[in-house]
């Protein structure tokens, strides 16, 4: 029987993650919390801000009098690919991205071509940052970056509600501070 997530165990609507049958190292949290639902719209907007200008520039180039005929073929191929990318990847990212702040560590999964599962023990946390770009502010979202001395780089949890991100940074800061004061 797959393990239940903390939220599902408390009666929340969150389902168990797809990899619920995978055994975990003792004490490691299972990433079960998803980004805020508004993250889908944020990712969609980001994609459209790239795809639409590229397709518009390509169409404008194809409409010039001296344009080569093969440009229409390129446009015909790139339009469905670009639109499919813009519309489908935000939902896939929402399905894959997960995070959890357990008793001893922060855990996050991300990626869409290759999936990455990162666990950061509280004893290894060096800095905690919260970031809000212009589009994130428009959608009321934030990203929390947990930095360690690891060569793999920081763990970034994206698409969090601003209030939840602020609360997460405060909570993790207090937990790390308590560990440092204990001398560990």
Categorize the per-residue pLDDT at 153 as very low, low, confident or very high, splitting at 50, 70 and 90.
confident
> Which is higher by pLDDT, 27 or 44?
44
DSSP one-letter string for 69-136? THHHHHHHHHHHHHHHHHHHHHHHHHHH-EEEE-SSEEEEEE-SSS-EEEEEEGGG--EEEEE--HHH
| 69 and 127 both lie in a single domain | no
| 103 and 53 both lie in a single domain | no
67-108 confidence digits (pLDDT tens)? 999 999 999 999 999 999 999 999 999 999 999 998 888 999
Residue 10 lies in a domain: no
Residue 20's pLDDT is what?
45
pTM score = 0.79
Whole-number average pLDDT of the chain: 84
| 145 and 122 both lie in a single domain | yes
């Amino acid at each position: 029987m797959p393990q239940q997530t903390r939220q599902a165990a408390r009666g929340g609507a969150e389902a168990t993650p797809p990899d619920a049958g995978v055994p975990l190292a003792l004490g490691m949290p299972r990433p079960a919390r998803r980004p805020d639902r508004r993250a889908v719209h944020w990712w969609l907007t980001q994609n459209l801000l790239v795809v639409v200008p590229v397709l518009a520039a390509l169409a404008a180039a194809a409409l010039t009098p001296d344009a080569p005929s093969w440009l229409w073929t390129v446009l015909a191929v790139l339009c469905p690919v670009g639109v499919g990318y813009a519309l489908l990847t935000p939902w896939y990212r929402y399905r894959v991205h997960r995070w959890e702040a357990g008793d001893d560590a922060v855990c996050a999964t991300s990626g869409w071509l290759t999936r990455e599962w990162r666990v950061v023990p509280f004893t290894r946390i060096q800095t905690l940052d919260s970031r809000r770009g212009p589009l994130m502010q428009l959608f009321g979202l934030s990203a929390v970056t947990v930095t360690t001395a690891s060569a793999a780089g920081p763990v970034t949890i994206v698409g969090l509600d601003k209030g939840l991100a602020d609360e997460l940074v405060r909570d993790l800061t207090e937990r790390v501070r308590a560990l440092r004061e204990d001398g560990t």
